[in-house]
Structure 1
């Protein structure tokens, strides 16, 4: 089975690295991915996390689109409760005008943040009502369409609103999620769907089955369309792959256990700390079952089998390889190595 490879980027921030350096490293990785034949490159939306600089997908998409030529660029995803549907529609209509035929608008229902940030967003008046999520999806689809959205005023009369005045093409909208709800909404809306398997693998089989069984064809998408996400680290040897995976394993352990979050440790820092505190032991056991970590041929074989098992021809990897102390701050050496070795092994 032949599979396409895509990338999800959270823009990791390691110890001692500035946000500018982290973003520069990810943009360098995006260019590298474009040259390597990667199908699409998505930026996540997370807030108030010392180890993650991907807070504003539209800004990052614009920067990456300007530096690449071929692959699709998108959001994985825009967390809609944080934004006005009109603003999201306008931002992505503008991005589509900048890079016609290359923009994906992945939309999620979670806030992508902690309760403090959620409260700040509510106080600022920009947070959308989660209960209105299905309607807001429909609004975005209408606003970015040729016909636009019709606004009805309580005082009487209607007005047509367009996200951009003269669109020649529209971004592709994807629904993202990790629950039955998102799968069923995507099916009912006739939209492409992605289950967040890299973050929560529980329920993947059920969500994909619900999506495919309940899918209602739409004009833009007559058949269901989905792919699968996965965490991956590939290196020349198994030992190096696991060494590069350890910083992310330990960060996930902090996140799941409610411990204070810190910038991503380097490989050396993670190795030395793990020897004394064993923080990543539990997550490492899970990673051995659900992540794809190892030498190129083995990981390529496992990913191909994974794609075949779930009936997809595309895998979006989150390349979570950590960096060594001596590696430059403005490049993503371990993550680029993962892409290089994996694309070669899958060729």
Structure 2
């Protein structure tokens, strides 16, 4: 089996012992570890009004991470486009690309990334309603791509055509990816000739079917003559299996709460998660979720990553490092998450792309 390239997905988790500022500092440190160990790209998610997630604004986070690193591509995983006016997204990413040419990815999703109340607040502020925004998603994608282009677009007003550009003199444009956890985005990406990523780390089901749908229906485009995709995985790597088993507990508890409608809170520390445990009624769900994650030693994790990459015929794996923190961990760092990236890269022999 060949060795896939490695990338990172970061939700900027907030632990019980952290402020938002601490979580941001930990993300900057994590991004530098990824940069130093040859990871190809570092993507930041969009989630709103969640006690354990500080990734509310991908463009702001991308600017922060790109400034703190030297080589790695930085992008959104993803911008939830129905929440935003296409011109605003185009302007943000055109500026990011101008500041860091050749290093910016714009991953676009269709989901709200939040609860209905927050979704209303986001979309009402943008002058839209949820049903309209979702229905117009394909047009929004086209609009963003056109507005970021070096030529911009022309809009007819009365008898005149007025130019509209995301930035005055673009020299390059970000790579645009479509993201999804259903067939919808796979079909749209194939139709538009765009790169596509299925949210395997979140759903864990339907990945093979979505990728086959994307590849079999792909329409070549000038920018992307062949399909491009990769795999996303929840990963914890530690020197021993026992350590990895402990470190996965806080994120597993958070995911169980999310899936069962339990109270959401900043992420537990490892000792807190051990003490609280998983309710017997939720044990089967927890075991099922964890069975789709990569949790182990560097050697076993590397073997699993290679096998999954081969199974899904991808040459890149995006790691979502979900290792928790022990009591006494510095608030502005996430050592177990950093170790996950470093140990996995070393085991796979990763090199800068």
TM over 0.5: yes
2:316 is aligned to 314
CA distance 1:278–1:23, shift in 2 (3 Å): farther
1:156 is aligned to 159
1:279 CA displacement: 7.2
1:183 is aligned to 186
Note the alpha carbon deviations across 1:36-60, whole angstroms, 9 max, x for none. Answer: 1111000000001100000000001
Contact 2:197/2:231 (CA < 8 Å) preserved in 1? yes
TM-score (normalizing by structure 1):
0.97
Unaligned runs of 5+ in 1: none
Structure 1 range deviating more: 284-293 or 170-179 = 284-293
2:135 is aligned to 131
Question: May I ask how many residue pairs the two structures share in their alignment?
Answer: 345
Which structure 2 residues correspond to residues 99-248 of structure 1 after superposition, within 5 A? 99-127=100-128, 129-153=133-157, 155-248=158-251
CA distance 1:85–1:310, shift in 2 (3 Å): same
1:69 is aligned to 70
Looking at structure 2, the residues matched to 265 and 2 of structure 1 have their Cα atoms a distance apart, in angstroms, of 34
1:2 CA displacement: 1.6
Contact 1:246/1:267 (CA < 8 Å) preserved in 2? yes
CA distance 1:29–1:126, shift in 2 (3 Å): farther
1:118 CA displacement: 1.1
SS of equivalent to 1:194: strand
TM-score (normalizing by structure 2):
0.95
Looking at structure 2, the residues matched to 125 and 83 of structure 1 have their Cα atoms a distance apart, in angstroms, of 6
Contact 2:220/2:226 (CA < 8 Å) preserved in 1? yes
2:344 is aligned to 342
1:292 equivalent in alignment to 2:294: yes
CA RMSD of aligned residues (A): 1.2
Looking at structure 1, the residues matched to 190 and 125 of structure 2 have their Cα atoms a distance apart, in angstroms, of 33
1:48 is aligned to 49
Unaligned runs of 5+ in 2: none
1:268 equivalent in alignment to 2:271: yes
Contact 1:249/1:280 (CA < 8 Å) preserved in 2? no
1:38 is aligned to 39
1:278 CA displacement: 4.7
SS of equivalent to 2:277: helix
1:126 CA displacement: 4.6
SS of equivalent to 2:307: helix
1:124 CA displacement: 1.9
Contact 1:82/1:126 (CA < 8 Å) preserved in 2? no
Structure 1 range deviating more: 68-77 or 141-150 = 141-150
SS of equivalent to 1:120: helix
Looking at structure 1, the residues matched to 84 and 8 of structure 2 have their Cα atoms a distance apart, in angstroms, of 24
Contact 2:83/2:126 (CA < 8 Å) preserved in 1? no
